[in-house]
Amino acid sequence: MCLIKTYKKKYFTAILFYFFVNACYGSNLIFKEKIVYNKESLENTVKIIEFSDDVKFKHIKFSNIIPNIFTKKINHISIDVNNSSSFLIIPFEDIVTTNKVSFFWKSEGFLNIKDKDHEKTKSGDDAILRIGLIITKNENKKFVDTIFGKPGWLRDVEKTLFYKADNLIYLLPKTKNKYPESWDSPYSSLIKMIPTKTKFFSDDWNNSNITLKKNYRVAGLIIMADGDNTNSKFETQIKSIILALKN
């Protein structure tokens, strides 16, 4: 009698375990499907550039200026600036239409910019960080003549991009001039400077974002920091950039 009870108990336990395993497996399948669905939905609404991924970029240097030191870390890129200037360019194989951009970053050090007016001049034209939107009107991937001149750094840009660059918008997260102020670069009226809205955190990544007044067709990104005009020294880190997609 005791053996029968023990057998029944073991059999009942085995049945419970079977149903438990199947229930967990089924819920895991549903959970995995939700993750895949959410990821696909996200990819249809935003383009995310995370530097933990294998992002393709090229370091563009100016011939007569000391270049920055860009270092790829586990989940971000570090930019060491010491009276220097250079940038990374990330080309897009497919044009991205957007009017909303956000990015996560942090920085240590200071720019030697005196005031709002100085910031708009050539002698004050430096930035802790510039996120450049390379704007194109061209539908075709065949690259034609560009808006800039023909120095060596520009030829490197032309070789890297898939589309013709028509103009450039620099998003600036930490400036003397504040959002919604904007101004033309002292070097070219085809380059627009736009401060972002920024939430600063002392122990975490700062979050900068901007909603532009219209949609732009973006052929690539520029990540830049410079201190050559103001003899500045600092370090900036960039973690990720998010572009909201428009049809």
Helix, strand or coil, per DSSP, at residue 41: helix
Global confidence as pTM: 0.80
Give 156 or 139, the one with higher predicted confidence. 156
Q: What is the pLDDT of residue 8?
A: 43
Contact criterion met (CB below 8 Å) for 232 and 128: no
Q: Which two tokens stand for residue 241?
A: 């950039």
- For the cut 80, the answer to whether the pLDDT of residue 34 exceeds it is no
The pLDDT of 91-116, averaged and rounded, is 96
The pLDDT of 55-83, averaged and rounded, is 94
The pLDDT of 152-161, averaged and rounded, is 86
The b/e string for 62-77 (b: 16+ C-beta within 10 A; e otherwise) is beeeeebebeeeeebb
Q: What is the pLDDT of residue 155?
A: 83
How far apart, in whole angstroms, are the C-alpha atoms of residue 131 and residue 224? 7
Indicate the domain borders of the chain. 1-44, 47-244
Q: Which two tokens stand for residue 197?
A: 């809205």
CATH number 2.60.120 is the correct assignment for the domain at 47-244: yes
Q: What is the pLDDT of residue 202?
A: 83
Question: Mean pLDDT in the chain?
Answer: 83
Q: What is the pLDDT of residue 36?
A: 43
How far apart, in whole angstroms, are the C-alpha atoms of residue 86 and residue 41? 36
Which residue in the block uniquely carries the two structure tokens 């030829």? Answer: 155
Between strands 167-172 and 191-195, the pairing is parallel
Which residue in the block uniquely carries the two structure tokens 């070789």? Answer: 159
The b/e string for 230-245 (b: 16+ C-beta within 10 A; e otherwise) is bebebbbbbbbbbbbe
Q: What is the pLDDT of residue 236?
A: 98
How far apart, in whole angstroms, are the C-alpha atoms of residue 76 and residue 106? 10
- pLDDT tens digits for 5-29? 444 444 444 444 444 444 444 444 4
- pLDDT tens digits for 193-212? 999 999 999 888 999 999 99
